[in-house]
Amino acid sequence: MNMASVIPQGSHVDDMDGHGEFKLTDRDFRFIAKRIAEHAGIVLSDAKRDLVYGRLMRRLRALKLTRFSQYCDLLAQDDGTEMEYFVNALTTNLTAFFREPHHFDYMQQELLPALIRQKSSRTLRIWSAGCSTGEEPYSIAMAVAEVMPEGWDIRILATDLDSSVVATGRQGIYPETRVQGMSQARLKRWFYRGKGARAGMVKVVPELADMVAFKQLNLLSDWPLKGSFDIIFCRNVVIYFDKATQSVLFDRYANQLQQRGHLFIGHSETLYKVCDRFSLLGNTIYQRVN
C-alpha cells in the first residue's frame, strides 16, 4: 500500500478557489480520519486531505450526496454496509509479482531447503497478510512449488482489509502487463494466456490457485486462524500504523509463528525499537527468537 499525497501540508481542498465539487470541512476530515484509524489503524495526517477528497468523492456521487458532512452522518449511522466501501476507497494497493525479489531468492535458496531438512511433519503454512490483488501470494506459491518436493501439505493464506482486492486475487486473472519481466519459463508453467474476449489477459493455473485461500481480514480485529505459520509476509502495511499499533501487531505475529518462524516485512519498514521478539537476518527478513 502507498497512500501518497500531492497536496501541501495545511492546504484545504475546499478552499481551492471553489474548484472542489464537494465541501470538505476540517470537522468532516477529522471525523473521517478518526473513523479509519479506529477501524483499520490507518493514520491520516492533514497532508492526506487531497487523497481523502479524491477517493471519497466517487462515493458521494454514487450516493447522490452534496456535502461530506452528509457522508459523515451516513457513516455515523452505518450498519457496516457503507464501512466496507469506505475502507476499500481509502486503502491503496500497490503490488507486483515478485516485488522485492530478494525475499523470494532467500526462500528458494535458504529457507525452504532448510525446512525440507528439518520438518518431519511435511507441512508448510504461509500467511500473506496484506495480500492486495494477489500478486504476492501467487509469487509465494510459485516460489514454493518450484522448490518443494511432492507429498508436502502446502497451504497459503492470503488476507487483506479491502474486500474488492481479495475478490480480484481469488479470480487470479491479470492483464499481461502485470507479468512483464517474468521469465518465459515461469509464464509458460504458471499462467494460461487469454484468447478471444480474454486476449491480453493471463490466469494462474489451478495448481497455484488451489494452494492459496483468500480471505477478508482486518489485522486490528480478532484473527480466526487455526494453527501456526512457518512464514508470514507483511510487507508495506505497517507504515500506515503508529508505533504503538505496530508493536501490538508484530507481537501478535510472533504469537502466530512457529518457534524460529520467519517474518518478511517491507523495504521501508523495521522492527527496531518496535518488537524484540525477532532477530534480523538481513534484507528485512526476521526470525522469531521468543
Residues identified as active-site = 55, 160
Q: Compute the distance between CA of residue 212 and CA of residue 141 in angstroms, rounded to an integer.
A: 7
| DSSP bridge partners of 174 | 202
CB 12, CB 18: distance < 8 Å: no
Task: Residue 239: name the closest of 89, 94, 104 by CA.
Answer: 94
Q: CA 207: distance to chain centroid?
A: 23
The answer for residues whose C-beta is within 8 angstroms of residue 268's C-beta and 6 or more apart is: 236, 239
What's the order of all strands across the beta sheet hosting 191-193?
Answer: 173-175, 201-204, 191-193
The answer for residues whose C-beta is within 8 angstroms of residue 127's C-beta and 6 or more apart is: 156, 157, 158, 159, 225, 229, 231, 232, 233, 256
Phi, psi of 260 (to 5 degrees): 70, 15
Which CB contacts under 8 angstroms, 24+ apart, belong to 217-226? Answer: 217/129, 217/159, 217/160, 217/161, 218/39, 218/40, 218/161, 219/41, 219/129, 219/130, 219/159, 219/161, 219/249, 220/39, 220/40, 220/41, 220/245, 220/249, 223/252, 223/256, 225/127, 225/157, 225/256
